Amino acid sequence: MTPLNADLHCHSTVSDGLLAPTEVVRRAVNNGVELLALTDHDELGGLAAARAEADAQDLRFLDGVEISVSWGDQTIHIVGLDVDPSDATLSAGLANVRSGRDARAQRIGEELERIGIHGALEGAQAYAGNPALVSRAHFARFMVATGVARDTASVFEHYLTPGKPGYVEHVWATLDEAVGWIHAAGGVAVIAHPGRYRLPEAEMTRFYDHFRDLGGEGIEVVSGAHSPSQVRDYARIARRYGFAASRASDFHGVGESPVDLGRASALPPDLEPIWLRFL
Ligand code: AMP
Ligand code: MN
Ligand code: MN
Ligand code: MN
C-alpha cells in the first residue's frame, strides 16, 4: 500500500512563508500532496483562502496553526491540526501571542543597530506579508539581501539565535495554553520538529511527559528539519509515549527550505499516522 502523501506543516506569506496561501495549495497539488495542512505561525488568517483553493483543486485540506510556546528559556513550537478557525478561544489566544511581536521586532532592530546593521526593523517589515507578524525570518531575508550574510541559515547562526547579538528573549504562550486552545478549537496538538530543540535529555523527557499529561496527541517524526537519524530518534519517542506520528516539510519557500511540499521522507511503517483521524 502506498502511504498517503500528507504534508501537515507549512507556511504562507500570512506568517513567514514566501508564497501566498493559494500558491502554497497549488504548489502542493503540483507536488502530489494528497492531504495538506497550512500552519502559519500564531495566525489563522490564510486558512480561508487556502481552503477555497484546495476545494477548487480537490485537495484534502486541514486548518492548522503553529503556536510559539516558551518552555523555560527555550522556544518550542506546537502545531494544531484540524482546528476550527472561528473558535473564539483559539483566536483570542493567538491574538495575544502575536501582540508581543512588534515590541520584540523593535528590540531586535535596536540590537542590530548597536552592532552597525542599520535599518533592519524597517527592512524586516518590508519583507513581512502580514504587519502583525514580523518574524526573525524577515530579518534574515533583509540581512541576506543587504549582504550581511550569504544565506538565512548563516544569519541565524551568527545573529539571531541565543547568545548572538541580535537575539532578544521573548515570552510566548505556555504549553498548557497552546494545547488548551487547540483542544478548545476541536483540533489535535502535535510537537513540531523536536530535533530543533536544544534541551538536555532530562528536560525533553519532562516536556514529553507534560505534553502527554495535557492530552497532546502527536509528534512530527518526519520533518524537513530532521536528519534520517533524528527520524529514528523521534520514532522511538512516538512509540514510547504512544504519540501518533506526523509528517511535514515545514516548507517556507524555494531556496530557503531544505524540503519541498510533499517531499519529506515516509514515516516508519509501524507508527500510527496522525492523519488516520482526519480521513
Ligand atoms: P520567530 O517566530 O520570529 O522566532 O522566527 C522563527 C522562524 O525563523 C522559524 O519559524 C523559521 O522559519 C526561522 N528559523 C529559525 N531558525 C532558523 C535557522 N537556524 N535557519 C533558518 N531559519 C530559521
Ligand atoms: Mn517559520
Ligand atoms: Mn517551527
Ligand atoms: Mn514551521
Query: Residue 85 corresponds to which cell in the numbers above?
Result: 478557525
82-102 pLDDT per residue, tens: 999 999 999 999 999 999 999
Residue nearest to atom 14 of ligand 1 (CA): 137
How many angstroms does the Cα of residue 16 sit away from the middle of ligand 2? 5
* pTM: predicted TM-score of the whole model, two decimal places: 0.98
Atom of ligand 1 at shortest distance to CA of 137? 8
C-alpha 51/C-alpha 121 separation (Å) is 32
Ligand 1, atom 8: closest residue by C-alpha:
137
Are 206 and 233 spatial neighbours (Cβ–Cβ below 8 Å)?
no
Where does ligand 1 bind, in terms of residues with CB under 6 Å? 16, 41, 68, 135-137, 152-153, 156, 252
10-39 pLDDT, tens digit each: 999 999 999 999 999 999 999 999 999 999
Cα-to-centroid distance, 84 and ligand 2 (Å): 22
Among 12, 15, 16, which residue has the most ligand 1 atoms within 8 Å of its CB, making it the best to mutate? 16
Residue owning grid cell 501571542 = 97
Average confidence (pLDDT) over 48-70: 98
Question: In this predicted model, what pLDDT tens digit does every residue of 178-231 receive, in sequence order?
Answer: 999 999 999 999 999 999 999 999 999 999 999 999 999 999 999 999 999 999
Please determine, for residue 130, whether its predicted confidence score (pLDDT) is greater than 90: yes
Per the DSSP assignment, residues forming a β-bridge with 41 are 66
Are residues 50 and 58 in contact, defined by beta-carbon separation less than 8 angstroms?
A: no
Q: Is 159 helix (H, G, I), strand (E, B) or coil?
A: helix
pLDDT band, residue 132 (cuts 50/70/90): very high
> Which atom of ligand 1 is the closest one to the Cα of 101?
3
Instruction: Give the Cα separation of 56 and 62 in Å (integer).
Output: 15
Q: Of all protein residues, whose CA lies closest to atom 9 belonging to ligand 1?
A: 137
Q: Quick one: angle between helices 88-99 and 101-114, nearest 10?
A: 20
CA–CA gap between residue 226 and residue 34 (Å, rounded): 22
What's the mean pLDDT when you consider all of the chain? 98
Neighbours of ion ligand 3 (CB under 5 A): 77, 192
- Give me the residue label for grid cell 541565543: 162
What is the whole-number distance in angstroms between the Cα of residue 222 and the centre of ligand 3?
Answer: 13
Q: How many whole angstroms from 53 Cα to the centroid of ligand 3? A: 24
Cα 202 to chain centroid, rounded: 24
Find where cell 549582504 sits.
Answer: 147
- The radius of gyration of the chain's CA atoms, rounded to the nearest angstrom, is 18
- Ligand nearest to the Cα of 75, by number: 1
Cα of 196 to ligand 1 centre, how many Å?
10
Arithmetic mean of pLDDT, 146-167: 97
CA of 77 to the centre of ligand 3 (A): 5
Determine the average pLDDT of the residues in 43-51. Answer: 98
Q: Is 223 left (phi over 0), alpha (psi -120 to 50) or beta?
A: beta
